[in-house]
Structure 1
Amino acid sequence: MDEQIWTGVRERVLALGLHLEDPLSPEELADLEATIGVRLPEEYRGFLLHVGAGGAGPSYGVFPVRKGEDGTWEWDGDGGDMTLPDRLAEPFDAVGPDPEVLADLEAGHPEEEDFDDIEEYDAAYEAWEERLMSVLWTDERTVGAICLCHLGCAQRQWLVVSGPERGRMWDDARCDHVDLEPLNTGFAEWYLSWLRDARPAPR
């Protein structure tokens, strides 16, 4: 990828009065990639090197990636800990669970008015939620992807770094009982589309 796409982007963001982390040095990026065992998608690599390690961006911003005192790298944000650094080299599962399984689960959602006893409803709901979690919220669903952004109300967005979907952004609305869906855009377009419409920070 032509890294010139990021030329002047950091300056444009800072001119809006928005915060960006310092960019990673080439040595830091090399250490990050050696630690996670995979080369990051080129557009995201360019962002980390020329714009910042995270900060202002779509919705609540791009989760910063930081190296902890123990030498491990992690993404910091509301959902950043959902990223599994030691499994980023594994291919992301773009297929996901069977839609019919999800539809059956949603159809079986317990309704409080169907129960005479609140404790029976609570038990039924907990059992249903456990089944849903085992399908949608298993770690296997997001290996090979980095949770990069929080949209609010537990909705997030991910960047796939391994497998056929490498380099693409995916939307995560599992809080609404639906599976992850592709955004049909790469990291650079995702970020620069936000920047085109970004407004200065309130003074």
Structure 2
Amino acid sequence: MYQKQIDRILRKLKQLAALDPALDLFGADQHRYRLAPPWNEDQVRGFEKAWSVTLPENYKAFIMQAGAGGAGPYYGLAEPEEGVYSDLDHKNELNDISAPFPYTDEWNMDTDWNEDTHSEEQLQRMEEQYFSTEHSAGLLRISNFGCGVSMNLVLCGPSCGEIWVDDRVNGNGIFPDHYFENENRLTFLDWYETWLDRSLEELEAQQD
């Protein structure tokens, strides 16, 4: 069902690597345009059973036909077993990826973070609430934007299959991914191919 798009994606990835031998594109020095080995059906089933989730079909097709991580937007694709944590940089707290993601539109906590308004204890409680995993339930971390910002695939809930950004570290909340100047909600394969298209445009413009 997704084979044509995945084949097109792999051709574009090869083209992108050829245009960027110096690895100048953001994050390329980390993933080096290399994909991790694909998962087989047993690995996918094992992951879904272990975490009580069902992976979106187009993402599942990609990790089985192309690669289970590696080359991708920003610092590359995280492998699924890395994405179960609340923070891709510090893998010490699990995210509840099997629970329904609670949002269908952008979310941010409406509060005043002014230290003059709240006591230190109040600010600490507010921060704990803001960064609680209840807000990121149902999200599989799939790409590290850096500095604590993650790109996520919604696994469960009304926004299932969409790519969302978790930018709470900068006080920007959680919202559908529009980082490629796209206006529509993106599912995994379209998100990945949009990254390829924008990256190819950027490198080709530099060569003109």
Q: Do both share a fold (TM > 0.5)?
A: yes
- Which secondary structure state, in structure 2, belongs to the residue aligned with residue 103 of structure 1? coil
Question: Partners of 1:95 and 1:127 in 2: how far apart?
Answer: 31
Question: Partners of 1:38 and 1:128 in 2: how far apart?
Answer: 36
Amino acid at match of 2:111: D
Question: Partners of 1:80 and 1:52 in 2: how far apart?
Answer: 22
1:104–1:90 CA distance, 2 compared to 1 (3 A): closer
Match of 1:90 among 83, 99, 102: 99
For the pair shown, which has the larger CA radius of gyration, 1 or 2?
Answer: 1
Deviations 1:149-199 (A, max 9, x none): 111222111110001110001111101223201122111111111112336
For 1:119, the equivalent position in structure 2 comes to none
TM (normalized to structure 1)? 0.73
1:11 CA displacement: 5.3
Question: Partners of 1:192 and 1:79 in 2: how far apart?
Answer: 28
| 1:83/1:146 contact within 8 Å kept | no
Question: Partners of 2:161 and 2:132 in 1: how far apart?
Answer: 22
1:130–1:42 CA distance, 2 compared to 1 (3 A): same
Match of 2:58 among 8, 23, 43: 43
1:98–1:32 CA distance, 2 compared to 1 (3 A): closer
Match of 2:158 among 143, 150, 164: 164
Higher strand share: 1
Aligned length: 178
Deviations 1:87-108 (A, max 9, x none): 3221111069986xx33333xx
- Which secondary structure state, in structure 2, belongs to the residue aligned with residue 133 of structure 1? helix
Amino acid at match of 1:182: P
1:28 CA displacement: 1.0
Question: Partners of 2:8 and 2:74 in 1: how far apart?
Answer: 21
Amino acid at match of 1:49: M
For 2:89, the equivalent position in structure 1 comes to 78
TM (normalized to structure 2)? 0.72
**Which consecutive residues of structure 1, in runs of 5 or more, have no partner in the other structure?**
68-72, 115-122
Overall identity of the aligned pairs, in %: 24
For 2:132, the equivalent position in structure 1 comes to 138
For 2:37, the equivalent position in structure 1 comes to 22
- Which secondary structure state, in structure 1, belongs to the residue aligned with residue 129 of structure 2? helix
Higher helix share: 1
- Alignment partner of 1:6 is 2:12: no
